[in-house]
Structure 1
């Protein structure tokens, strides 16, 4: 059913759902548009509506080939909506769910496009705060780039900032400081956000490097398991190398995943360095690594843990933490969350110093039925080897006791023609 959005736009059908709202295919005075209608609870927040209007100039001013342009902001009754360019294609999460991982050339080309878009946004003083595959759109009508990659565009600028800005809570009204919250998607949060520091441009670089790692490996470097464990890994653990990618590309990834924001590259430099890598990546096949095992700091699995799912089963890259989010199609995009900032002792607890290493392709997951069977076979082989060694030693000892060397007092027989 068609839905009027303000006086200029009509929303015709739902294209997708996210944690902040619903995206509709719409029509405006200049043709088709995408209309993102924010959640009802956000539209009912008068302070947020005020900030929404204040952000209008910054959001409308972003004009770049790799940024989905915001054409208008609509405040109309219970509707709070962003009217954006319509990109005919899919999002990067959908492609990852289908292919699990990309060839390095395509992954780097897509990441370079997004880095270009971030460079323009940062130059305008805008920080995205929620870079993730769900917020990267692939323009299927655009020219094919390196590795067969379609042009990539970053969307949802400003949404995280709108939601993140402190509101007039009961604690604030009473003059007390409200509890600090973390706004974002756990798998892609920079360490400084976890530690409660204000987000700067470097948080987008960290998140984009995490996306590149995921495009190459099929999983994020610090994700998986309980969200609290994910947040702690960002602060305490170091990323484990991925086998099969050039060393220069790996060092670029490591620099952009640095814990210290000042150590990371700026967006424009990252885009240029990534494009320099493209010629050497041509023809390299997608990596063959399996997702790492759960961290020991997470709740232990049941003794009879089922075997790992098939390799072609799509993995959700982030945990859905939207309070009260109803189950519906597209719920895997509800990955935006609000969490309390962990205390220093919580961040320090259980640190292992290094991230979980990816398993070799085809290796069993510890605790799985296949892993336990291999352990039993290995113990049997060791037992048989030990028994064979013991038997060999016993036989050698017995043979030594049966030998009869000449007695030193026995007469010596001389051959013919020899003297006494």
Structure 2
């Protein structure tokens, strides 16, 4: 059913639902558009509406081939909407769900496109704050790039900042998607451009491996890993590309590359990656969910069977989680003692396909089996050495003198 959005736009069909609102296929004076209609409870928040209007100029001025452009911002009664360019394609999460991981050349080409989008945004003073596969759109009508990758465009600029108003999130709360949150956000520091670089490096790692470097288990455990653990190498990844990832996943924001540098460095890697197939690695096993429930007001973490491991919880309290896993989380900031609770350098290590995770039940069984085999071999070797020695010293010697139990030769009787 069509509905009017302001005086210039008409929304015809729902394209998707997210925690912050609903995306519609719409029509405007210049043709088809995508309209992100924010939730009514957000639209009724006058403080948020004020922030929305303040961001208008910056968002409308943001222009780059890899940015989903914002054409208009509509404030009309209970309607609060972003009118955006319509991209005919799919999002990166949908492709990951279908393929699990991508060939390095295509993955790096997509990450380079997103880096270019971030470079334009950062130059305009805009921090995205929510870079993740759900917010990367693949233009199926655009020309194919390296590795057969479709052009990638970054969307949802400004949404995280709009929702993260002081009245909705206190200083003790974290707004974001756990798998992609930079350590400084978890520690309560204000988000700057470097948080987007960290998130993009996490996305690239996920495109290559099929899982994020610090994800898995309870969201609280994920946050702690971002702060305390060091990312471990992916088997089969070229060293230059790995070092680039490590630099952008650095705990210290100042150690990370700027977006423009990252985009250029990634494109330098493309010729070296041509023809490489997807990495053959297994996802680390899930860890026990021993963490306390640190988010919401007093909401327990009790996932239903089959719930995505990323801890999908809504951005807006009381909202149902949507089908495309728009996994914003409102969580309390862990205390220093909690952040120090994980051992440094113990990130869940990816491993070659088929290899067991160290410390897992399968790993312990295989370790015990190896020890048993080695022990049996050692016993057989000792036995073989003993038998060989006996054969060498008297096993076939008819004239050998028998020995008593103490090893001494008995005294022969004297001749009379």
TM-score (norm 1): 0.84
Q: Does 1:186 align with 2:170?
A: no
Q: CA 1:382 to 1:296, structure 2 compared with 1: closer, same or farther past 3 Å?
A: farther
Q: Once the 2 structures are TM-superposed, how far is the Cα of residue 165 of structure 1 from its aligned partner?
A: 2.3
Give CA deviations for 1:147-195 in whole Å, capped at 9, x if unaligned: 00111000000000011121278xxxxxxxx452111101101110010
Q: CA 1:355 to 1:167, structure 2 compared with 1: closer, same or farther past 3 Å?
A: same
Q: Does 1:75 align with 2:75?
A: yes
Q: CA 1:153 to 1:315, structure 2 compared with 1: closer, same or farther past 3 Å?
A: farther
Secondary structure of the corresponding residue to residue 33 of structure 1: strand
Q: Does 1:28 align with 2:20?
A: no
Name the CA distance, whole Å, in 2 between partners of 1:317 and 1:97. Answer: 13
Match for residue 218 of structure 2?
Answer: 226
- TM alignment of 1:337-356, pairs within 5 A: 337-356=329-348
Q: Once the 2 structures are TM-superposed, how far is the Cα of residue 395 of structure 1 from its aligned partner?
A: 4.0
Match for residue 145 of structure 1?
Answer: 145
Secondary structure of the corresponding residue to residue 59 of structure 1: helix
Name the CA distance, whole Å, in 1 between partners of 2:342 and 2:240. Answer: 32
- TM alignment of 1:17-416, pairs within 5 A: 17-167=17-167, 178-295=170-287, 298=290, 316=308, 318-322=310-314, 323-326=317-320, 330-364=322-356, 374=366, 378=370, 381-382=373-374, 384-385=376-377, 388-389=380-381, 391-392=383-384, 395-396=387-388, 399=391, 402=395, 405=400
Name the CA distance, whole Å, in 2 between partners of 1:226 and 1:153. Answer: 30
Q: Once the 2 structures are TM-superposed, how far is the Cα of residue 17 of structure 1 from its aligned partner?
A: 1.5
1:220 and 1:317 in contact (8 A); partners too? no
Give CA deviations for 1:324-362 in whole Å, capped at 9, x if unaligned: 3436xx524220111111111110013242311112202
1:17 and 1:333 in contact (8 A); partners too? no
Q: Once the 2 structures are TM-superposed, how far is the Cα of residue 202 of structure 1 from its aligned partner?
A: 0.5
Q: CA 1:131 to 1:168, structure 2 compared with 1: closer, same or farther past 3 Å?
A: closer
1:258 and 1:264 in contact (8 A); partners too? yes
2:102 and 2:208 in contact (8 A); partners too? yes
Secondary structure of the corresponding residue to residue 114 of structure 1: helix
Q: Which runs of 5+ in 1 are unaligned?
A: 170-177, 300-313, 411-420
Name the CA distance, whole Å, in 1 between partners of 2:282 and 2:325. Answer: 23
Q: CA 1:386 to 1:315, structure 2 compared with 1: closer, same or farther past 3 Å?
A: farther
CA RMSD of aligned residues (A): 2.8
1:293 and 1:366 in contact (8 A); partners too? no
Q: Once the 2 structures are TM-superposed, how far is the Cα of residue 226 of structure 1 from its aligned partner?
A: 0.8
Name the CA distance, whole Å, in 2 between partners of 1:95 and 1:168. Answer: 33
Q: CA 1:252 to 1:367, structure 2 compared with 1: closer, same or farther past 3 Å?
A: closer
Name the CA distance, whole Å, in 1 between partners of 2:178 and 2:249. Answer: 15
Give CA deviations for 1:308-336 in whole Å, capped at 9, x if unaligned: xxxxxx99573212243436xx5242201
Secondary structure of the corresponding residue to residue 331 of structure 1: coil
Name the CA distance, whole Å, in 2 between partners of 1:149 and 1:276. Answer: 16
Give CA deviations for 1:281-332 in whole Å, capped at 9, x if unaligned: 1001110001113347846xxxxxxxxxxxxxx99573212243436xx524
Q: Is the deviation greater in 349-358 or in 54-63?
A: 349-358
TM-score (norm 2): 0.85
Q: Which runs of 5+ in 2 are unaligned?
A: 292-305, 402-408
Q: Once the 2 structures are TM-superposed, how far is the Cα of residue 363 of structure 1 from its aligned partner?
A: 2.6
Match for residue 404 of structure 2?
Answer: none
| Number of equivalences | 386
Q: Once the 2 structures are TM-superposed, how far is the Cα of residue 108 of structure 1 from its aligned partner?
A: 0.6
Q: Once the 2 structures are TM-superposed, how far is the Cα of residue 13 of structure 1 from its aligned partner?
A: 1.2
1:63 and 1:69 in contact (8 A); partners too? yes
Q: Once the 2 structures are TM-superposed, how far is the Cα of residue 45 of structure 1 from its aligned partner?
A: 1.3
